[in-house]
Amino acid sequence: MSTLHQAKDRLIQNYKARGLVKDELAFRAFKEVPREMFLPENSRSSAYSDHPLPLMNTGQTISAPHMTIMILEYLELTPGLKVLEVGAGSGYQAVLIAAAITSSDEVGHVYSLEIVPELVNYARKNIEETGYDDRVTVISGDGTLGYEDASPYDRIILTAAGPELPPPLFEQLEIGGLLVMPVGTPRMWQVMTKFRKTTETDFSQEVLSSVAFVPLRGQYGI
Ligand code: SAH
């Protein structure tokens, strides 16, 4: 077994021992997707060190492994769902979600929006090279406006921190659907929050954890 595989296994054992994540779908996806393939060559050897890593020289970061797997559990994923992600970055989280919503007889789809043009290309390249381009579509643009063409979505995840739930994203969420986002000000801890759309106009919300994400840009960003 390669060193990377061993490092990944150690992370999984550690998350299980601490009870950090329980969702088997999340572990299956985490095992399946090679995080190293979403990193520049010079940081691939630290793919399973549990910390965030820079995304090219854009000032953006790819989240730490524990956060990416916790997001899978927060989203309560099941095979066949349609998911919108805001902030494609490297494409890693989108592919993790795609892996989790695929089973032997159901294949879901992830639409991922990215506002930085060079990251749109980077994410697309990584997704193609790992063979997930049939299940993940990267779209260039302001994710706070959502992507109406493929709406409504069963799940929406924002991987950048914003001040409030962007109204277009609430509109594009299916009734009964979930939206998870870090709510708060940049450069400080934010509150990872789960919104559940209960009717066309109402939602309930639950606080999940304290997190540190890069700022959400765009019309309803910071
Ligand atoms: N999910 C990514 C990491 C996200 S970092 C991964 O797995 O690698 C946050 C990303 O959100 C950055 O790439 C940033 O450019 C993007 N972003 C910030 N505001 C945005 C917006 N309004 N619309 C789309 N993308 C946005």
One pLDDT digit (tens) per residue for the chain, 222 residues? 579 999 999 999 999 999 999 999 999 999 999 999 999 988 999 999 999 998 888 888 899 999 999 999 999 999 999 999 999 999 999 999 999 999 999 999 999 999 999 999 999 999 999 999 999 999 999 999 999 999 999 999 999 999 999 999 999 999 999 999 999 987 778 999 999 999 999 999 999 999 999 999 999 999
**pLDDT for residue 139:** 98
Task: Please calculate the CA angle 130-133-137 and round it to the nearest 5 degrees.
Answer: 130
Question: What is the Cα–Cα distance from 161 to 155, expressed in whole angstroms?
Answer: 17
**pLDDT for residue 66:** 97
Task: Please calculate the CA angle 210-126-51 and round it to the nearest 5 degrees.
Answer: 30
Write out the E strands in 72-184. Answer: 82-86, 109-114, 136-140, 153-158, 173-183
Q: Determine the residue of 35, 211, 214 to mutate for testing ligand 1's pocket, defined as the one with the most ligand atoms within 8 A of the Cβ atom.
A: 214
CB-ligand 1 contact for 169 (6 Å cutoff)? no
CB-ligand 1 contact for 161 (6 Å cutoff)? no
CB-ligand 1 contact for 115 (6 Å cutoff)? yes
Please check whether residue 216 lies inside any domain of the structure. Answer: no
Please check whether residue 9 lies inside any domain of the structure. Answer: no
**pLDDT for residue 184:** 95
- Please list, in sequence order, all residues whose beta carbon lies within 8 angstroms of the beta carbon of residue 25, skipping any fewer than 6 positions away: 72, 77, 78, 100
Please check whether residue 102 lies inside any domain of the structure. Answer: yes
Burial level of 55, CB count in 10 A (0-12/13-18/19+)? buried
Q: Where are the alpha helices (DSSP H) in the chain?
A: 3-18, 24-32, 65-74, 92-100, 117-129, 167-171
Domain span at residue 185 reads 67-211
Please check whether residue 25 lies inside any domain of the structure. Answer: no
Judge if the upstream peptide bond of residue 152 is cis by omega within 30 degrees of 0: yes
Phi, psi of 213 (to 5 degrees): -120, 160
**pLDDT for residue 56:** 84
Provide the domain count of the chain: 1
Kindly state the tokens that stand for 193.
């929050």
**pLDDT for residue 57:** 82
Determine the distance separating the centroid of ligand 1 and the alpha carbon of 180, expressed in angstroms: 14
Please check whether residue 27 lies inside any domain of the structure. Answer: no
Shortest-distance atom of ligand 1 to CA 94: 7
Q: Catalytic: which of 63, 112, 151, 209?
A: 63
Please check whether residue 125 lies inside any domain of the structure. Answer: yes
Is 63 a residue of the active site?
Answer: yes
CB-ligand 1 contact for 72 (6 Å cutoff)? no
Please check whether residue 218 lies inside any domain of the structure. Answer: no
pTM of the complete model beyond 0.85 = yes
Q: What CATH number corresponds to the domain at position 190?
A: 3.40.50.150
Please check whether residue 26 lies inside any domain of the structure. Answer: no
